[in-house]
Amino acid sequence: MKYFYGDNKKASYFEGWYIKQQNEEETIAIIPSFHIDEYGAKSANLQIITKEGAYSCSFSCSEFFASKRRFFVKLGKSIFTESGMRINLHTENLTVTGRLFFTKKIPSKMKPDIVLGDFVNSNEPAFHPLRYSIMGYYDYVPFLPCKHEVVSMLHGVYGTIVINGKRIDFRDGLGYIEKDRGHSFPTSYLWTQCSFKKPSIGSIMASVAELPLLSTTFVGCICAIWYHGKEYRLATYLGGKIVSYSEKGFSIFQGKYLLEVSVIKQEPHSLKAPVKGAMRRRIKESVACKVRYRFYEDGKLLFEVVSNQAGYEHVIRKG
């Protein structure tokens, strides 16, 4: 896997990482990103989303660095790596500080006296990546406005973040990381992600999007589920069919599998999104809302999860 693609891009390009961590009560997503507008001007951005609100901070491109060989992103005084992250952000309206450590082990209860250095110095990668690209062969299609990657389906999170004086502790947290790259987000799409511990430890990411195809468009889907240590994949390129979709949820059918996503309660906040590389579009995302997931195999319910810490985003074109 290549971790950064933007070093030789000239115009109309963005690349951003969605870094989400949750515990039983709180969820926070942090999005560092790199941008080149249609005129070739480069910049960087950092967005932070909590239940209470969303914040956006702009940076010059000189304050940004990303490695091509591994997950390592530096933006201003904040650093995001495969071992964890350190955030140090101070603006007129926002102060965010803290450190989080990532671990491959996901215990039911972490000991409060755990040695944090064990995570940093461990030779064992913290992430649970997918077996192959979530885009399948669409990863090689040149005309798509945006390409999606999953960096880690699930990992443990330990540490503390303080946002404008509010302390959020992750002693037994779950983490997820994905990224997008291209020039613009799709015109219409639905997206959801949630990690969970009951009925068993797992994680799900699913999306439905309207994509260009020659002179027309089509609606495709991608979905990855990590459950009981097994990876499940539903996607258009594997024969997956979208049964229904709306701002209230969607369902995907593929062979012996059926996924149903139902949004029970949303609390969306406004985020910036790319158009031709520049952050000038506004979308709505709930970083922690109530969603029900049902996953069937051969007509039998494999699991049902109702979570208050699910991420959900919907942008549906009218008409």
Q: Do residues 12 and 274 touch, judged by C-beta distance below 8 A?
A: no
Model confidence band, residue 169 (pLDDT cutoffs 50, 70, 90): very high
Measure Cα distances from 205 to 71, 202, 228, 261 in Å.
Answer: 20, 11, 15, 11
Nearest to 156 by CA among 115, 197, 121, 191: 197
Reply yes or no: is the peptide bond before residue 199 cis, omega within 30 of 0: yes
Cβ neighbours for 9, distance < 8 A, ≥ 6 positions apart: 36
pLDDT at 217: 86
pTM over 0.85: yes
Say whether pLDDT at 231 is over 50.
yes
Q: Let me know if 224 is exposed, middle or buried by CB neighbors in 10 A (0-12, 13-18, 19+).
A: buried
Please give the pLDDT value at position 1.
74
How far apart CA 153 and CA 129 sit, in angstroms, is: 6
127 with 104: CB under 8 angstroms? yes
Which one has a higher pLDDT value, 81 or 215?
81
- E strand or H helix at 32: strand 27-36
Q: What percent of the chain has pLDDT over 90?
A: 85
Give the CA dihedral 117, 46, 170, 205, nearest 10 degrees.
Answer: -110
The pLDDT value given to residue 124: 62
Q: Which residue reads 């926002």 in tokens?
A: 94
3-state secondary structure of 127: coil
Mean pLDDT for all residues in the chain: 92
Interatomic CA distance for residues 247 and 154, integer angstroms: 26
Domain boundaries, the chain: 6-315
Q: What is the pLDDT of residue 171?
A: 86
Number of Cβ within a 10 Å radius of residue 244: 12
The tens digit of pLDDT for each residue in 5-49 reads 999 999 999 999 999 999 989 999 999 999 999 999 999 999 999
Examine the pLDDT at 186 and tell me if it is beyond 70: yes
pLDDT value for 107: 56
Which token pair is 280? 């000038």
For 101-137, the pLDDT digits (tens) are 999 877 555 443 333 344 344 456 789 999 999 999 9
3-class SS shares of the chain: helix, strand, coil, % to 5: 5, 60, 30
